[in-house]
Each structure stands twice: as structure tokens, then as C-alpha cells.
């Protein structure tokens, strides 16, 4: 096989990869715009995930007055971590997919060149980016209320936690 024959296949592979990356970028930007359009609804979804922060106050107070293996600040950090994990692992694809089937909106999507699963996947990913600023504001408020809870985990802990969040999202999806 000559080098001339290998070259077009490499270019076509790069071309296909570039097209796929462009498609991913477009899908994420479209679904991000869609999620940001309904900011009030997104705010309510983020606030509905604050239940761990409410329980945190209860457990931190119990740790101050009782015999627990953790200090109150450790409870506060734990519940902050639970809040963050909940923000990034929420999956609602089952309800959307069911609604599309019941309302008959799935059939036209099956005729398009993009698998509907990818539309749902990138919708979820874009929603995480749209949720991020609201979660950051809540975390900032959290650290204003509990300055003793500020800590910087190690790179290894961040990497392991991020991997666990991605895998949890994938399992739920």
C-alpha cells in the first residue's frame, strides 16, 4: 500500500472526527441555550437539591452536643460534598423519553441522522453547565455561613470524586 493511499484515509478520519466534535459543540451550545432560557425553573431545580444542606445543620448541631465520630466541621463538609454530587448526578431522561413516546414526538427524532439518546445525553450535559453558576453562588453563600468548612481537597481526591460523579451519572443515565 503506497503512502498516497494511506493519506486520504487519515484525512477522512480527521475530517470525521472534526465533524463529530463540531456536532458535539453545536448540541451542547443549543441545549445550554435551551436550559438557560428557563432560568427560573433551573433555579428551583437547584434549590430542590439543597435538602442535604438543610440536614447538614441538624447533624452539625447534633455533633456539637453528642458523642459522634465526626466533628461538626466534618459533617458540614460531608453535606456540602453530598450537595455537589447531587447537582451533577441528577438524571431525568426516563421521564423525558416516556413523554416523547406517549406524545408521539419520538418517531420524528428516529428519522433524523442523530440518535435521540445523544440528544438526551447532551441535554443533560448542557444542563450541568447551566446549573454550575447557581450552585457556585450557593457554595459561596455556604462558605460565608460556615467559613471553618473551607478546605482544598488534594488533586487525587478531586480526581477520584470527579470519576465517581461521572460514573454515577453514566449509571443513572
The DSSP line for 115-172 is: -HHHHHHHHHHHHHHHHHHHHHHHHHHHHHH-GGG-----HHHHHHHHHHHHHHHHHH
DSSP state of 50: T
The average confidence (pLDDT) of the chain is: 82
pLDDT at position 8: 58
pLDDT recorded at residue 6 = 54
pLDDT at 43: 72
Residue 128, pLDDT above cutoff 80: yes
pLDDT for residue 150 is more than 70: yes
| Residue 153 or residue 156, greater confidence | 156
Q: How confident is the model at residue 158 (pLDDT cuts 50, 70, 90)?
A: very high
The region of weakest confidence among 3-17, 48-62, 63-77, 94-108 is: 3-17
The pLDDT of residue 7 is: 59
- Residue 126 vs residue 9, higher pLDDT: 126
The grid coordinates listed for 66 are 453528642
Phi, psi at 97, each rounded to 5°? -65, -45
Q: Are 64 and 72 in contact (CB under 8 A)?
A: yes
Determine the pLDDT at residue 172.
85
What is the grid cell recorded at 31? Answer: 441545549
pLDDT, position 79: 84
Q: Residue 5 pLDDT > 70, yes or no?
A: no
Q: Roughly how many angstroms between the first and final C-alpha of the chain, as a whole number?
A: 44
Cell reading at 167: 460514573
Q: What's the structural domain count of the chain?
A: 1
* Dihedral angle sign, alpha carbons of residues 142, 146, 152, 154: negative
Per-residue pLDDT tens over the stretch 6-49: 555 666 878 888 888 888 888 888 877 877 777 677 677 767 76
Over residues 154-173, the mean pLDDT reads 92
pLDDT tens readout for residues 78-118 = 888 888 888 888 888 888 888 888 888 888 888 888 888 88
114 three-state secondary structure: coil
Return the axis-axis angle of helices 116-145 and 72-89, rounded to nearest 10°: 160
Task: Give the separation between CA 37 and CA 86, rounded to whole angstroms.
Answer: 22
Residue ranges making up the domain that contains 126 = 3-172
Amino acid at each position: 500500500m503506497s503512502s498516497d493511499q494511506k493519506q486520504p484515509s487519515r484525512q477522512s478520519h480527521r475530517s470525521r472526527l472534526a465533524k463529530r466534535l463540531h456536532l458535539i459543540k453545536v448540541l451542547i451550545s443549543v441545549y445550554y441555550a435551551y436550559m438557560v432560557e428557563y432560568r427560573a425553573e433551573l433555579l428551583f431545580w437547584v434549590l430542590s437539591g439543597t435538602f442535604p444542606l438543610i440536614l447538614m445543620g441538624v447533624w452539625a448541631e447534633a455533633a456539637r452536643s453528642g458523642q459522634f465520630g465526626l466533628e461538626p466541621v466534618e459533617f458540614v463538609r460531608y453535606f456540602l460534598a453530598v450537595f455537589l454530587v447531587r447537582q451533577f448526578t441528577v438524571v431525568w431522561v426516563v421521564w423525558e423519553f416516556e413523554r416523547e413516546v406517549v406524545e408521539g414526538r419520538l418517531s420524528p427524532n428516529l428519522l433524523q441522522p442523530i440518535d435521540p439518546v445523544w440528544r438526551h445525553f447532551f441535554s443533560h450535559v448542557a444542563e450541568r453547565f447551566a446549573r454550575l453558576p447557581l450552585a457556585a453562588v450557593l457554595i459561596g453563600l455556604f462558605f460565608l455561613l460556615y467559613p471553618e468548612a473551607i478546605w482544598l481537597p488534594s488533586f487525587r481526591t478531586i480526581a477520584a470524586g470527579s470519576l465517581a460523579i461521572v460514573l454515577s451519572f453514566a449509571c443513572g443515565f
